[in-house]
Amino acid sequence: MKLQYPVLIEKGDENTAWGIIVPDLPGCFSAADNEADILGNAREAILLHLSALDDLPAPSSLSDIKAEKGLVVSLVDVDLAGLEGPAKRINITVPVALLSRIDAAAKAKGVSRSSYMTESALMAI
């Protein structure tokens, strides 16, 4: 499953590294010497931070993030597959009408039924 965490970026220059803060994960931050590396370093910091948590916090929406002057807001795609462990095939029973709604929602998001249901469950717990 992939999530997008908002981040705050402080631009660097020839004397200062680029900095990044993850508002949804207090204490999670990173830096890079150049702009090209900052989002990759942020992704690595987010995954490392999440690996130490029992409950994964849902990412905030961009409209919820307030950037101070001089900071830029961006999104970092984070693939949580490595944190969740291997997949296990299960058999569940779902009412037909609900299954149709799930399939429509999954199709609209461009993901599989399993991905949609897993993501929905993670957001609910």
pLDDT at 27: 94
**8 A C-beta contact, residue 124 and residue 6:** no
pLDDT at 20: 95
pLDDT at 60: 92
pTM of the entire predicted model: 0.67
In CATH, the number for domain 1-86 is 3.30.160.250
pLDDT beneath 50, residues of the chain: none
pLDDT at 32: 95
Contacts of 32 (CB under 8 A, 6+ apart): 12, 17, 18, 20, 38, 40, 41
pLDDT at 80: 81
Q: β-strands 71-79, 2-10: how paired?
A: antiparallel
Secondary element (H or E) of residue 98: helix 96-109
Domains in the chain: boundaries: 1-86, 88-125
